């Protein structure tokens, strides 16, 4: 992979392998309003982001204390999102995908088919999966990452899954409804529709 910056027509080969190997990625979104809150989120949990094809990625949006990304993507006329990966070991590399995002909720007829695209060990029994985010790439690029520090990856944290997997659908809904910025964003945009429908059953 080139280190001085390059754009790509599609996600394939070494670029795709790099994306799929990273244990963490970042999402950036913003509302259309110029004075709204820009959001930047880290995402972990290996296996919960997949490359669907050369121009499309998907990741599972899990429960948390807010839903800014979902709100910005659901805002009419918006949908802008940037995904970023960076290497903390090996050759210095940063990859960005600028694109448009779409929120697929549990009651969307596409849910089961999309959910099946993720490794079963990463998503099976994960009752806090509240949405799937589809990202269609508009610009794919890399850059050097010379200033990114070297750090050693140890393991994924299990606390998130352990905390939410103890909750029933009713308890998870109560958790979501008890948070100020899940149904609406910091700027008052509609975010995650509540109450959530039950998790669809997967085939098999």
Q: Structural domain boundaries of the chain?
A: 6-177
pLDDT of 147 reads: 92
Instruction: Give the integer Cα–Cα distance in Å for 63 and 32.
Output: 24
Instruction: Give the integer Cα–Cα distance in Å for 49 and 32.
Output: 26
pLDDT of 125 reads: 86
pLDDT of 56 reads: 99
Instruction: Give the 3-state secondary structure of residue 47.
Output: coil
Q: Distance between alpha carbon 179 and the CA centroid of its chain, in Å? A: 20
Domain at 6-177, CATH homologous superfamily: Electron Transport, Fmn-binding Protein; Chain A (2.30.110.10)
pLDDT of 5 reads: 84
pLDDT of 1 reads: 47
Given a cut of 70, the residues of the chain with pLDDT beneath it are 1-4, 202-204
Phi/psi zone of residue 105: left (φ > 0), alpha (ψ -120 to 50 degrees), beta? beta
Model-wide pTM > 0.85:
yes
Give me the half-sphere count of Cα atoms (radius 13 Å) on the Cβ side of residue 132. 27
């Amino acid at each position: 992979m080139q280190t001085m910056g390059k754009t790509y027509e599609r996600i394939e080969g070494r670029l795709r392998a790099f994306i799929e190997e990273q244990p963490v990625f970042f999402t950036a979104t913003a509302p259309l309003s110029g004075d709204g809150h820009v959001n930047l989120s880290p995402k972990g949990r290996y296996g919960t982001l997949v490359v669907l094809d050369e121009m499309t990625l998907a990741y599972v949006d899990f429960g948390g204390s807010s839903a800014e990304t979902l709100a910005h993507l659901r805002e009419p006329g918006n949908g802008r999102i940037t995904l970023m990966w960076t290497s903390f070991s090996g050759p210095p590399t940063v990859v960005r995908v600028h694109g448009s995002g779409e929120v697929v909720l549990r009651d969307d007829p596409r849910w089961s088919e999309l959910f099946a695209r993720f490794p079963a060990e990463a998503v099976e029994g994960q009752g806090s999966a509240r949405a799937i985010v589809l990202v269609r790439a508009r610009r794919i690029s890399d850059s050097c990452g010379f200033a990114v520090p070297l750090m050693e990856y140890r393991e994924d944290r299990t606390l998130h899954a352990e905390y939410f997997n103890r909750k029933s659908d009713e308890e998870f809904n109560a958790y979501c409804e008890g948070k100020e910025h899940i149904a609406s964003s910091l700027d008052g945009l509609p975010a995650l529709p509540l109450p959530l429908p039950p998790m669809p059953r997967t085939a098999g």
